[in-house]
A and B are shown apart, each in its own frame.
Chain A
């Protein structure tokens, strides 16, 4: 962490203070969703952008994180009425939000490890299919393990712990961890695997271990995001974490540009805010007295298509944004370009 990064962090913190005092609940809520999506996109980027695998497991990991953290933070009194069949020790347990969140992330990472051991030995689209399968498995478990998950009913009445500071803090942690990882020998190894796994293996890189690392770290943060999401919406059901969520995160990733952390941040921010504000446009516009519901989805679909035609590598094209340096006299040395294979 250099002075420059600290300065921008302080600036963001200041802006957040300002946002909290000036913006009403609605804008704060949208901002919270932005940060959750940043966590999801940046963490998916590690697997999909840097390690070159294609995971579709984020919804499943979110689901795991959300369910575990919900069970851990629910007050025992609520648990007694909602989930009377819970084992006594679990029914009595009430953990602080941050602990529950981390445990949610860890469970998601452990599940990722279990899935990853067999699957990550294979190359190609196996991971995409396997993670898709994982999503179905997680949902079926959530529906049928009624003593713990309340089945299809879902868990509601979660304490609304998630606020701007939690999501901002976790987003900063996510970005920092992934940035450090990517710019470490591990990250270089991941990128080498992405470009040519055989060549990387020939240079002594443990391909499976590095792919596992990327997959599990990504899953950890997806679990964190799930916990934050659950405590923002306050109601989770097995159907909450559908393919649609994974798809949205993939879109944010692709729009921002795979293999770029700043691209993920831009993608997540743009793809959260634009639909939100387009929705207000569609409410105010009308055709023959009928509001144009669904217009925002069409505009977004068309925009994504256009981005894919004209900027196939996303808005940032796999590059990182360099924030102007304020403390170093000399221009920051241009970082090695991180190119993607698209």
Chain B
């Protein structure tokens, strides 16, 4: 205490001198270094503090943080809960630290964490591995190490994949949360991978004789392939020794409780074929590890005693990274930056806090002990086990016209969106929270649509809205979301100027009409070898006139010629005048482009074919309707149209979606809009994951950065600031009333 006091006094003196010296101009950033450097934990905590101090030294040598030096305020916790809590309180209230790191044991972390949490000071544990710590303590608590679940999964995966184990014996220390949880996680993953636990035995920490357990193990026939011992360092050596002395030669597996020199020391040459999971290996040839080992040796004259030295080092470096990104030493800003830690390259692995969790999804190091010698085997990133999403649901608006004129395409869209949300929730939700779709019927009515969007935003507090397959409704709904600062992703409205017209919170999942018109024009010229085309355009819709204009543009650019451009009004049922004018053409055009909405898709095809014209009929996604087959019957021949997806596409993404949709709703997806609804939701989920937050602004920014998103309807990337994707267009052919997939085209 005296030293602390004198240190404090010295610091005070330095502060008072600060204005006079340039070198000392910057006030240091104080970080608490909370370790038990004396007492039972000292063998792992002292190296931890050394690692932390080494990191601070390197940071200061490299110019400090935000132009200020880092100062570690290290107070000994004495392996005593009261002393630990007092120390944390002193760091916060007396030394005014901006963040605290340290502690390698969950018991002490559980005592220290809540004090920092209450004071609003971030606490990063360097080595406590209970995966539920951040949840138990609060949002200011972070973990540098992986959780016990991760290491147990990793060793289970190693057992199955590398050791080809099919059966396992379990020996579990009943005295610790750590050991029982580790065994439970091992069992969970081992059995999930097809393994079998043939016997689960137990002991109490402090036991020295394991003959009864070993006798029961020896009685097993056939013998299990691997032996998993869930122990703390105390029993690591003795269990290994007694198992091997009993003549059992199977690989012995464990977690980081085995990361102790005791195995070699106690079991001697019996320490054979022992594998354990831990945070880092000093043998790892990775230059990050080797540089750390070298620096540690230079600083302290010895190699890092264990992985906790590396963890202390990583913890400090991770904190520095967060402070740099925060650009501030405000504890709240540091906390927020810590929560956004992504791809931090540590000695002990890569640290990212994904989906709002504050336990990193890190690589686990597997170490082998052979003849008493420890060596690095490999690193494993365990495949994350989806935890059931908990907490407040993330509300997303599902804005569709499920009744009225749009229902035939909007209802499947909503189904697709809901299917995606269901799959997201089954896979663990978003940021650990479930997704809830707030679906309100727009009734194919502009007033109802705008009311619904307003209700979603103001009453249900949705963080984003998706849906709508028609530009008219998107133009009514979009501005409300835009004004409220809520991202809106249209699932199926294809007017390419929508995002420009509405604003920067508006995004499109489908391609624009320009893209599909270009694709079908390219198809006409390149695949159908067309040189001349006839155009029939519905004058009533923006969609149809724009589609025709884009087709014309690309077709003529590719050397084609539009020989006649004719028109009609949606609702017309007799096309004989237009067809007569077409028949009068000589020579006949190579292809017939009909720019229509679904209503007229069937009847135009029928009347053209009945007039004896046999040229290929081309169109856009307005033709994506069963009506062609239903109305034109066997006249539905040689019709090609562009659309968002084909259910016949053999791509596994498409087939998995079709299968899941069938399972959920009992029918195949009715049209491409089901797939678009699904993609829209998945794309939104992707953005929310990347944003790491449900703040609408953050989601908008993440949406704008959507890149190579693999959807059922194609790959979505928003390039050069556009919010219309550059997507592949699917070409479908109708032949004898049967629809089939032709190819995918990414228009130039």
Contacts and interface: CB of A to CB of B under 8 A. Distances in A.
A3 interface: no
B542 to A, nearest CB: 4
B484 A234 contact: no
Contact of A235 (B441, B446, B451, B484): B446
Contacts of A156: 475, 479, 501
A157 B479 contact: yes
Interface stretch (B23-31, B277-285, B385-393, B455-463): B455-463
B94 to A, nearest CB: 46
B41 to A, nearest CB: 53
Given A26-B455, A233-B446, A297 B539 contact: no
A67 to B, nearest CB: 15
B403 A294 contact: yes
A25 B439 contact: no
Contacts of B578: none
Contact of A157 (B403, B501, B540, B541): B501
From B439, B472, B545, residue with most partner A Cβ within 10 Å: B472
A160 B480 CA distance: 10
Interface string A24-41: 111101100100000000
A235 to B, nearest CB: 4
Contacts of B475: 154, 156, 235
Interface residues of A, number: 34
From A25, A160, A282, residue with most partner B Cβ within 10 Å: A25
Interface string B407-422: 0000000000000000
A277 B29 CA distance: 56
A25 B542 contact: no
B476 A235 contact: yes
Contacts of A26: 451, 454-455, 457-459
Contacts of A163: none
Contacts of A232: 450
B381 interface: no
A152 interface: yes
A33 B451 CA distance: 9
A293 B501 contact: no
B540 A25 contact: no
A280 B458 CA distance: 14
B539 A152 contact: yes
Contacts of B438: 283
Contacts of B472: 154, 235, 237, 239
Interface string B505-525: 000000000000000000000
A277 to B, nearest CB: 10
B152 to A, nearest CB: 37
Contacts of A276: 451
B384 interface: no
B402 interface: yes
Contact of B454 (A29, A153, A239, A283): A29
A26 to B, nearest CB: 4
A153 B498 CA distance: 12
Contact of A153 (B441, B448, B542): B542
Nearest to A150: B542
Given A143-B539, A283-B440, A30 B476 contact: no
Contact of A293 (B402, B479, B539, B541): B402
Interface in B453-500: 454-455, 457-459, 472, 475-476, 479, 483-484
A297 B403 contact: yes
Contacts of B82: none
B445 interface: yes
Contacts of A29: 450-451, 454
A282 B402 CA distance: 12
Interface in B364-414: 402-403
Nearest to A140: B569
A244 interface: yes
A231 to B, nearest CB: 11
Interface in A273-305: 276, 279-280, 282-283, 291, 293-294, 297
Contacts of A297: 403, 443
Interface residues of B, number: 32
Nearest to A239: B472
B467 to A, nearest CB: 13
Contacts of B541: 152
A20 interface: no
A340 interface: no
B300 to A, nearest CB: 61
A294 B439 CA distance: 13
A25 B452 CA distance: 12
Given A26-B454, A160-B483, A234-B479, A152 B542 contact: yes
Contacts of A233: 446-447, 450, 476
B465 to A, nearest CB: 13
Nearest to B450: A233
Contacts of B458: 24-27
Interface string A150-166: 01111011001000000
Contacts of B484: 25
B441 A24 contact: no
B443 to A, nearest CB: 8
Contact of A152 (B402, B445, B448, B540): B540
Contacts of A237: 472
Contacts of A279: 440-441, 448, 452
Contacts of A24: 458-459
Given A25-B454, A26-B457, A293-B441, A235 B479 contact: yes
Nearest to A291: B439
Contacts of B445: 244
A229 B446 CA distance: 10
A157 B501 CA distance: 7
Nearest to A155: B475
Contacts of B440: 279-280, 283
A240 B446 CA distance: 7
From A29, A144, A239, residue with most partner B Cβ within 10 Å: A29
A283 B541 CA distance: 31
Nearest to B459: A26
Interface of B: 402-403, 438-441, 443, 445-448, 450-452, 454-455, 457-459, 472, 475-476, 479, 483-484, 501, 539-542, 545, 569
When A and B form their complex, which 6 residue pairs have the shortest distance between CB atoms, in order from nearest? A26-B458, A24-B458, A153-B542, A235-B475, A26-B454, A156-B475
6 contacts: A160-B479, A232-B450, A283-B439, A283-B441, A293-B402, A297-B403
Interface of A: 24-27, 29-30, 33, 143-144, 151-154, 156-157, 160, 229, 232-235, 237, 239-240, 244, 276, 279-280, 282-283, 291, 293-294, 297
Given A26-B457, A152-B541, 9 more contacts: A25-B454, A25-B484, A27-B459, A33-B451, A143-B569, A151-B539, A229-B447, A291-B439, A297-B443
